[in-house]
Amino acid sequence: MELRQLKYFVTVAEELNFRRAAERLFMEQPPLSRQIRQLENELQVELFHRSKRGVTLTLSGQAFLDEARLTLAQAERAAKAAQQASQPQALAIGFSICAFNRVLPKLIQAYRQQYPDVVVTLTELSSEAQIQALLNNAIDIGFVHAPIVHLDLLTFTFLSEPLVVALPPDHSLVDHEQIDLRSLATEPFIICSEAVKPEMYAQVMQLCHQTGFSPRIVQEASSPEVLLGLVASGMGICLVAEGAEIRHRAGVIYRPLSTPTPILEIAAAWRKQSVSLILKDFLVLINQA
């Protein structure tokens, strides 16, 4: 019994017509009929009732059909596994600078220690660009601003931080334990560029507008490090995620807001239908982080 004979049998069983089955298989009808006869002879059962009215499955044929389909599916899985094993193991990761600063370096280090043979590639992209890259199979997993809703993607939120105010050390508000956002209405704001971090930009603008003012933006920055460096220089104040205090302490004072603030969430996102063993191993580490 050969796999091609099983394929022939399944096709005839689905079409219940030798001519149409032969057309689907891109072959002539007589060779197809001979192959089915050879299969029946080997099994010593009739798989089809043949009559002038057409072709129908026998009870033996019906029982054989399910098993034949399973065998063909298993053969296809085995072929794919062999092909994947012959290719270099790789994990393509997309990230935003927010995710990189917080957790990604430790995750990558832990993953490389456990799986040194996997080639890890990193690409910095906005959240929107990461979603498109996931859908286009350009990356295996992305680290994006949550929430995102897409039918073809799964997500796991692993970091949630409120916004806080970053002030120069000589600012008049540093003596306050909490700061009312309304007291910042006339302050010079430094903000991350909308082109670089559209989600963060939108959150800050929305929060200020809900409080009743438009921020007086004096400078835009391309990264949190530059943003906080400008605050330390006394150019203005900014709103950043709470975790910034751990990474950048020099010359900056952080104070929580008394006003309810949006939560900055970072989530891992990946495709529903293409979770490889390599990605599963990485997801285990994310859940442990």
**Domain regions of the chain by residue span:** 3-85, 90-158+266-288, 161-263
Residue the block writes with tokens 């943003």 = 227
Q: How far is CA 77 from CA 80, 82, 173, in A?
A: 5, 9, 64
The whole-number pLDDT of residue 238 equals 94
Q: What one-character-per-residue DSSP string does 8-67 give?
A: HHHHHHHHS-HHHHHHHTTS-HHHHHHHHHHHHHHHTS--EEEETTEEEE-HHHHHHHHH
Q: Which amino acid is at 246?
A: I
pLDDT band at 170 (very low <50, low <70, confident <90, very high): very high
DSSP category for residue 173? T
Whole-number Å distance between alpha carbons of 18 and 235: 81
pLDDT band at 87 (very low <50, low <70, confident <90, very high): low
Q: What one-character-per-residue DSSP string does 177-204 give?
A: SSB-GGGGTTSEEEEE-TTT-HHHHHHH
Q: Which two tokens stand for residue 1?
A: 């019994």
Whether 90-158+266-288 and 161-263 share one fold: the answer is yes
How many Cβ atoms sit within 10 Å of the Cβ of residue 149?
7
Q: Which amino acid is at 191?
A: I
**Domain 3-85 in this protein, CATH class:** mainly alpha
- For the chain, give the mean pLDDT: 88
Lowest mean pLDDT segment, chosen from 15-24, 25-34, 92-101: 92-101
Taking only the tens place, the pLDDT of each residue in 180-234 is 999 999 999 999 888 877 778 888 999 999 999 999 999 998 778 888 999 999 9
Assign a CATH topology to domain 161-263.
D-Maltodextrin-Binding Protein; domain 2 (3.40.190)
Asked if residue 191 lies in contact with residue 221, where contact means CB atoms within 8 angstroms, the answer is: yes
The reply to whether CATH 1.20.140.90 applies to domain 90-158+266-288 is: no
pLDDT band at 85 (very low <50, low <70, confident <90, very high): low
